[in-house]
Amino acid sequence: MLAYVQIVSVPSADTPGACLMLHFDNRRYLFGRIAEGTQRTMVQRKVSLAKIRDIFLSGAIDWQATGGLLGVFLTLADLKAASAADLEQVNAKLRSRGKQDTKSVPAQLNIHGGKNLVHMLATARRFILRKALPVHPRELRHDPRSDESKAEPDYEDENIRVWSIPVSVTPLKPSASEPHSPKKRKLGPASDAEAEPEQDLAEEEADQRIREAVVKDMFCSKWNLDTLREMKLKDVQLPAKIFIRNDQGHIEPYDGPDPSSSSCPDINVLVRLPWPAAKIERLPPTSPAQRSMCYIVKCHPRRGKFNVEAATKLGVVKTDFKRLTMGQSVPGADGTIVTPDMVMGAQIDGRGFAILDIPFPDLIDPLLQRHEWSNPEIMKGIDTMYWILSDDITVSNDDRVQQFMKTHASIKHIILGSAMCPNVPGLESPTSQLIKMNGIDPQRFPLPVFDTKPRSDLDKELELIAEVGRPGLQYQLAPRATFITDGVVPVMDTKRPIWELMTYAPQALERASAARNAIAAPSFLTEVEKSQHDLPSPETEIVPLGTGSAMPSKYRNVSATLIRVPGWGSYILDCGENTLGQLRRCFGYEGADEVLKDLRAIYISHLHADHHLGTVSVIARWRQLSLPADRKLAIIATPKYQDFVREVQSVQHLSGERLLHVTLRSTSGRPMPGTLTKTSFPDGVDPEALGLPRIEACFVNHCYEATAVVLTFPDTGLKIAYSGDCRPSATFAELGRGAHLLLHECTFEDELGGDALAKKHSTLSEALDVGRQMRARRILLTHFSQRYPKLPVINEAALGTEEEKESRDVDVLFAFDMMRLKLGEFKQAKAFLPALRELLQEGEKQEEEDEE
């Protein structure tokens, strides 16, 4: 049996959390924090999620520790669906040959964690719909070993035993029921006894059952997306999708008067009922928990070696050997009884490791004082301790932690904390590409910010027993306990991309140099000045932070674009997972804080997970910056998303009073694509006095309540239009008429028009056509589905006739992650396109060779 634990991610801008994968042949486990960016790191490291059955979350249940979890679910559900489809093919083949089906894929995921785990998952019910992946949360709300004499684990399976160690400032009480049977714990929620009077326990338990039911509904329900129920129109409860049978008997969307209106006709309609979990408007109350979860994990002990010689000497017949190894006594020579201990070596302890997670400095003492660390029975076999530390916690300046390590000097201490680990590029592929693009056009592609030296030193004595964690480091538990460094990911050689550029793509460099000369020519500058003299706010900077679709991929992160408008501050348009990390990689930690200090609004176009899983971290960081107390951050979104942001505050501090919910509502009660929204501000708020641009939006054809937005800055007249995800929208084109900047999705290339229609996205030419109708001056295309970034060829006809193009002075560019583009410099950027195209073609060739 081979078992090892491997560091998957160490804290960096790309991977804010530290996470470990425990590997057994038959299944895998994740331990630690599943922060934003975890899944993308796994893609980069070629670590598969497929065999994961259990995730043990360490630390507190907040967005810092769990922000990547929802993305992991979605990917796992896709993987499961794909493998189920494969399996069905295999089974069909078997059946056709008259054979039996093979076993189905065991598809379920257990999530273990501390207080608020179920609540946190339930907050996602508005955007995680029924998935092919049953998720079972196991929230530990009591102390499984408040009785210090107990040494039993609280989780056990065929591979491992786990001791969950909850840490809190005030001690937790034991569960009302007997807490020591893992089976029992799995059956029902345990009560929370943290300083709460006895009579509240029943209520708390009832609340927890409601949350559990919601989560069960999200992941395991039999609800069918295609079920339509027939009912009287007047009985329909909104929101619901309403359909009607037309004269031919075909089903089509109903667009008549609302059920609530007085002109509501007395007819039968078909209703697609909303997802049942989504109907729960409010979850039972809870509050952020100042707690952490730590773990001790061990393999099972193994039996000692069987001594064949001794058994033979005692007269045991060969056929009885097996019974002895199974613990049974057998007859020996002359009627004696041979017991297993007479022929078996001593039992070999299972090896193991511990995870000590310190999310808040206040928890250091209670964590170090836990009795498990000094219980020889529990600690037997523990060779390694992984320390997961939040941003402001270091080892070098904390005597208590240092002393603890020195007391456990026979154990290797591995430190995973951002204050200790250097901010190395955690995603080598996009970093390498950005460095090469910098070699082509340094104005548009500034170098990413990183450092490679550990940030804080350990003293001589500690150096012998502790080290800063490196991704890929393995600690093997079985067959023999040992560290394996072969897989350690070397610190990225950031000079190599330049060498590759010079060696493999010299033509790209030649073209880049030609572009540099061309844009420096006085005639070019005169021409630019002439054609865009009326372009307002040319210093406006556009920074695409994520330009891919669906899920974080190797080269492109999920949707987010930063716009910095001089005099008006910064705006984030959609905010996919790890937008904060992308900002930090782009501007450095301090630079990102400076950008955030200037942040005025975050706009979320729709509820697909790839467009908003980064919002909570951005808000959380924003509130930590020293800003005047009356500074507000606007969240521009439809009601459902606003509800999510309000609700997530029950498990995460976000300074809700400083958030300004600017809600995009339907005027009719039904958000029909093509209709305008009403932009509503909280009561008593004067939009004029807020210093925000004019915000106009319309519903677009993509998913329920999907919107596109237009921001107009009154002093200069600057108009920025952003599509979100959608089929081409005439209403949006009308709303954005005369936009100086259009950001439009173009998920599919023109050949894939059918996919675009089916998945409700736009093709490249459709996006350009919206720009033509809008008469947009500068168009930046984004949201690409391809694996390797390309520069597609533009169908110029879609942009309009030559005269039209000439008269409106239009330029089109393609967005790349971490590009920095000024509104007034599209023409300069365009000059480098031939060089970029050359570079990307060469890159694609190399990528294909690497894959082979």
CB 122, min distance to Zn ion, A? 22
Separation CA 110–CA 136 (nearest Å): 5
Determine the Cα–Cα distance for residues 302 and 348; give it in Å rounded to an integer.
5
DSSP-derived letter for residue 110 is E
Closer to Zn ion by CB, 393 or 602: give it: 602
Residue 446 contacts by C-beta under 8 Å, 6 or more apart in sequence?
Answer: 438, 586, 818, 820
- Minimal distance in Å, beta carbon 611 to Zn ion? 6
Going by C-alpha positions, the residue among 322, 347, 351 that lies closest to residue 2 is 351
- We find the least distance from the C-beta atom of residue 745 to Zn ion, in angstroms, to be 9
Least Cβ distance, residue 703 to Zn ion (angstroms): 6
**For residue 274, what are the CA distances in angstroms to 132, 269, 366?**
18, 15, 45
* 177/183 Cα distance (integer angstroms): 12
Using the contact rule CB under 5 A, the part of the chain among 4-12, 18-26, 570-578, 722-730 near Zn ion is: 722-730
Cβ atoms 572, 600 nearer than 8 A: no
| Distances, alpha carbon 83 to alpha carbons 77, 80, 768, 787, in Å | 10, 5, 37, 21
Cα-trace Rg, the chain? 30
Contact yes or no for 4/328 (Cβ under 8 A): no
Stretch that binds Zn ion, among 199-207, 310-318, 606-614, 655-663 (CB under 5 A): 606-614
Candidates 197-205, 719-727, 767-775, 777-785; binding stretch for Zn ion (CB under 5 A): 719-727
Question: How far apart are the C-alpha atoms of 202 and 53, rounded to whole Å?
Answer: 31
Instruction: Give the interface segment with Zn ion, choosing from 49-57, 197-205, 608-616, 688-696 (CB under 5 A).
Output: 608-616
Stretch that binds Zn ion, among 54-62, 454-462, 603-611, 820-828 (CB under 5 A): 603-611
Q: Spell out the residues 6+ positions from residue 332 whose beta carbon is closer than 8 angstroms to its own.
A: 314, 315, 316, 338
* Residues 39 and 68: beta-carbon distance below 8 Å: yes
Q: What is the number of residues in the chain?
A: 852
C-beta closer to Zn ion: residue 693 or 724: 724
**Distance of closest approach, residue 815 Cβ to Zn ion, in angstroms:** 16
Q: How far is the CB of 573 from Zn ion (least distance, A)?
A: 14
* β-strands 778-782, 811-814 pairing: parallel
Minimum Å distance from CB 605 to Zn ion? 8
Tell me which stretch binds Zn ion (CB under 5 A): 42-50, 240-248, 725-733, 811-819. 725-733
Instruction: Give the interface segment with Zn ion, choosing from 327-335, 469-477, 718-726, 745-753 (CB under 5 A).
Output: 718-726
CB of 762 to Zn ion, least distance (A): 11
Beta bridge partners of 741: 720, 778
The distance of closest approach from Cβ of residue 746 to Zn ion in the complex, given in angstroms and rounded to an integer, is: 13
The answer to whether residues 160 and 29 touch, using CB atoms and an 8 Å cutoff, is yes
Let me know: does 430 contact 843? Beta carbons within 8 Å: no
Element (H, E) at 503: helix 496-504
Place of tokens 């300046």: 397
Give bridge partners of residue 160 from the DSSP assignment. 299
Q: What is the DSSP letter of 341?
A: G
The residue (of 154 and 725) whose beta carbon lies closer to Zn ion is: 725
H-run or E-run covering 371? none
761 touching Zn ion, by CB under 5 A:
no
Cβ closest to Zn ion, residue 344 vs residue 604:
604
Contact window for Zn ion (CB under 5 A) among 563-571, 607-615, 671-679, 841-849: 607-615
Pick between residue 145 and residue 608 the one whose CB is nearest to Zn ion. 608
Q: Which of residues 357-416 bind Zn ion (CB under 5 A)?
A: none
Q: Is the distance from CB of 783 to CB of 548 less than 8 angstroms?
A: yes
Residue 123 or residue 559: which is nearer to Zn ion going by CB? Answer: 559
Interacting span for Zn ion (CB under 5 A) from 77-85, 254-262, 343-351, 717-725: 717-725
Least distance to Zn ion from the beta carbon of 763, Å?
15
Closest approach of Zn ion to the CB of residue 772, in Å: 24
Cβ(724)–Cβ(606) below 8 Å: yes
Tokens of 285: 């109350």
Q: How far is the CB of 641 from Zn ion (least distance, A)?
A: 13
Residue 27 or 760: the one with the smaller Cβ distance to Zn ion is 760
Could you tell me which stretch among 279-287, 446-454, 724-732, 772-780 binds Zn ion (CB under 5 A)?
A: 724-732
| Options 36, 143, 725, 811; binder of Zn ion; rule CB under 5 A | 725
Provide the minimum distance between the beta carbon of 604 and Zn ion in the complex, in angstroms, as a whole number.
Answer: 11
Residue 16 DSSP class = -
Closer CB to Zn ion, residue 725 or residue 817?
A: 725
Whole-number Å distance between alpha carbons of 179 and 143: 8
| Of 289 and 609, CB closest to Zn ion | 609
Taking the C-alpha atoms of residue 422 and residue 407, their distance in angstroms, rounded to an integer, is 27
Closer of 304 and 753 to Zn ion (Cβ): 753
Q: Least distance to Zn ion from the beta carbon of 608, Å? A: 3
The reply to whether omega before 682 is within 30° of 0 (cis) is: no
**Which residue stretch of 127-135, 362-370, 720-728, 739-747 sits at the interface with Zn ion (rule: CB under 5 A)?**
720-728
Closest CB to Zn ion among residues 168, 729: 729
Residue 194 or residue 725: which is nearer to Zn ion going by CB? 725
CB of 838 to Zn ion, least distance (A): 32
DSSP state string for 706-762: -EEEEEE-TTT--EEEE--S-S--HHHHHHTTT-SEEEEE--B-GGGHHHHHHTT--
Shortest distance in whole angstroms from residue 704 CB to Zn ion: 11
Report the residue number, 608 or 719, with the smaller CB distance to Zn ion. Answer: 608
Task: Give whichever of 696 and 725 is closer to Zn ion, judged by the CB atom.
Answer: 725
Question: DSSP assignment of 196-264, as one string?
Answer: --HHHHHHHHHHHHHHHHHHHHHHH----TT-EEEEEGGGPPSS-EEEEE-TTS-EEE--SS-TTSTT-
Which residues in the 513-532 window bind Zn ion by CB under 5 A? none
CB closer to Zn ion, 210 vs 550: 550
Query: Contacts with Zn ion: how many residues (CB under 5 A)?
Result: 2
User: Which of residues 608, 612, 719, 827 is near Zn ion by CB under 5 A?
Assistant: 608
Q: Return the number of the residue (602 or 823) whose C-beta is nearest Zn ion.
A: 602
List residues binding Zn ion (CB under 5 A): 608, 725
